[in-house]
Amino acid sequence: MGDNRPSETTALLLPADDRSTSAALDRSTNASLERQRRRDELTGYILMASSALGFAANSACVKALSLSQIPSLEIVFARSIVQLALGLLGCVFLRASPLGPATSPRHLLVLRGAAGAFGNACFFYAVSVMTLGDATVVFFTGPVFSAVFAYWMLGEPYGKFDRVASAVCILGIVLVLKPAVLFGGSESPKGGPELWGAVAALVGAMSGALAYCVVRKVGRAVNAMVHVVYFGFISMIGSSVAMFLLQEPRMPRGQYEWVVMGLVGVFAFVGQAMLNRGLQLAPAGPGTLMRNLDVVFAVVLGITLFDEVPDWIGLVGALVIVGCTVAMGVHKWLRPQD
């Protein structure tokens, strides 16, 4: 009656040996959870690094089609159809609703799809008017923007080091583009379509960074295939309208163009699926840095397939951008509370 004494099972009232055993079990559980978290993060990094190869191959196909005078928005449309079809098949195979769980934040899924689709269209245009390596380097300033969005949306740290690295990235962009106003005497100052391509790549990087952080915000409750479906559907609708309003589409001619057009969607699907799953497992800031391997793959493919050999100024700019984004990721990894 009215006895408020602690229960006999209260840890403080347990015998010393039992309290020691309970503490040991707690430590073991925490250690197991930490190991699982680390394994998940490592898996996420591996998936995101692997996605870089898929996206680099996708970019090479886009470049090949652009050299055949196929408009960039038509390529976006073709990619969207293939990606949407494969995403729906993936949902069927995994028994996941293409719309996502009933409790999922579908407005965020729509935002993710729209941001990703817009960023992808910007990047495809950049690839069509720039060298594959330059377009990829500028587009992969994305981790800088993802760090900013992660700070706003996810509460991830963005300290003085990150701000300095972000500023230095701008220098790298200048070196890659070599604008005529600054490099009038250089052998290949950038201007005209290439400058607009660089602007598109930069805007695409911002849009893609927003998409990455939305995936992180949505979390693991939504299957990665659902993100692919939303991306493909919104991209298909948007590009189907835009390619008639802004460009002059034409049907592919011959087996080569049809095959490469299909490969654009296949490589994009593989890269997108691995990227979405990787983003769910790894922190947005350090995780997206694994995609910097795309720069390496793109430069190699540009040299081997399209004879696009970068000059030393552009190469220094690429190293500055990659170095800054990697430094930001390592800094966040080692000092997450800064």
Provide the residue ranges of all domains of the chain, joining segments of one domain with +. Answer: 48-334
- pLDDT at position 237: 95
Q: Is the pLDDT of residue 267 over 80?
A: yes
Least confident of 1-10, 164-173, 200-209, 240-249: 1-10
Mean pLDDT of 203-213: 90
DSSP 12: G
Angle at 260 between CA 257 and CA 263, to 5 degrees: 150
pTM of the model: 0.77
C-alpha 162 chain-centroid distance: 19
| List of residues 6+ apart from 115 with CB closer than 8 A | 207, 208, 210, 211, 214
Mean pLDDT of 41-69: 86
pLDDT-derived band at 213 (thresholds 50, 70, 90) equals: confident
pLDDT-derived band at 257 (thresholds 50, 70, 90) equals: very high
- Run of H or E including 38: helix 16-67
Q: Is the pLDDT of residue 183 over 60?
A: no
CA distances to 179, 180, 237, 277, 278 from 188, in Å: 9, 8, 38, 40, 38
CA distances to 118, 128, 337 from 76, in Å: 10, 12, 40
Rounded-to-integer distance, Cα 176 and Cα 51, Å: 24
